[in-house]
Amino acid sequence: MFQEPSLFDGGDDGSFVPFTDILLNVLMGFTIMVFIAFSLIRPEMLTGDVEIDAEYLITMTWPDNNPDDIDLYVEDPGGNIVWYNVPEGGFLALERDDRGNYRDTIVVNGERIANPLNQETVTLRGVVPGEYVVNVNHYVANGVDPIPVTVKVERLNPALQLVYYGTVELDHRGDERTVIRFTLDAEGNPSNLNDRFKSLTELARGRRPG
């Protein structure tokens, strides 16, 4: 009488594929798909890091929703001054000129959405040894109350380092303050921090762009 080959009796003639082989192939396929899926995930999605292509970051903020226009001025050792009318000079770059609540709204699906944040930033994308000067200026005053203005200077490379953090008050239109002056060596190390006043508005506006 004909008897079918058993999985355990060694009677497999090659036409029968054992269940273990099928399972192994499925597992190998699943492993390959998982590997491909993880290789396609961007590193920033895994870490949450945001890289900024700069050596230093200078940030100025004033109260949210405040209508006043405060301007950030930064001078490098070569005499380059960045401000709203000259957004780039040397390795310095003004990333955004914030004008208080002026044009701080967008329309999405017929609804007007306001951006309450008041912030300007300057990046230093290379190091020139010498002194840097950071000033703030009260360009447009819509009220009579003093405005607290906060400035933060951060070194980004080789590791994040807070160089300066402080707040000054501007109390009238045209009020200008030197918030911080600091010196960088050839390696970008800061020293000689002080707030001795130097008017950058007079220097900057006495020049013509280009």
Residue 66 located in a structural domain: yes
Phi, psi of 138 (to 5 degrees): -85, 95
Q: What is the pLDDT of residues 152-168, one digit of tens each?
A: 999 999 999 999 999 99
User: Is pLDDT larger for residue 198 or for residue 31?
Assistant: 198
Residue 104 has pLDDT above 70, yes or no: no
Is residue 160 included in any domain, yes or no? yes
Contact 184, 127 (CB under 8 A): yes
Assigned domain for 181 exists: yes
Location of structure tokens 């914030």: 98
pLDDT at 19: 61
* Euclidean distance between CA atoms 140 and 161, whole angstroms: 33
The answer to whether residue 104 is domain-embedded is: yes
User: Phi and psi dihedrals of 70, rounded to 5?
Assistant: -110, 135
Give residue 43's pLDDT band: very low, low, confident or very high (50, 70, 90): very low
The domain that contains 193 carries what CATH number?
2.60.60
184 against 1, higher pLDDT? 184
Q: How far apart, in whole angstroms, are the C-alpha atoms of residue 40 and residue 32? A: 13
Mean pLDDT of 61-74: 92
pLDDT at position 65 is 85
Per-residue pLDDT reduced to its tens digit, 120-149: 999 999 999 999 999 999 998 777 789 999
Mean of pLDDT values over 91-105: 70
Q: Distance between CA 134 and CA 139 in Å, rounded?
A: 16
**DSSP secondary structure, 126-158, as one string:** S--SEEEEEEEEEEE--SSS-EEEEEEEEE-SS
Least-confidence region, from 1-10, 46-55, 119-128, 157-166: 1-10
Q: Could you tell me if residue 173 is inside a domain?
A: yes
Which pLDDT score is estimated for 46? 39
The secondary structure of residue 86, as a DSSP letter, is: B
Q: Whole domain around residue 94: which residue ranges?
A: 56-205
Q: Is residue 77 in some structural domain?
A: yes
Residue of 199 and 32 predicted with greater confidence: 199
Into how many domains does the chain fold?
1
- Residue 49 makes CB contacts below 8 A (sequence gap 6+) with 43
CA gap 5, 22 in Å, rounded: 19
Q: How far apart are CA 56 and CA 115, in angstroms?
A: 26
pLDDT-above-70 percentage for the chain: 65
Distance CA 138, CA 107 (A): 29
Greater confidence, 205 or 25?
205
Q: Do 132 and 155 form a contact (C-beta atoms < 8 A)?
A: no
The verdict on residue 22 lying in a domain is no
User: Within a domain: residue 42?
Assistant: no
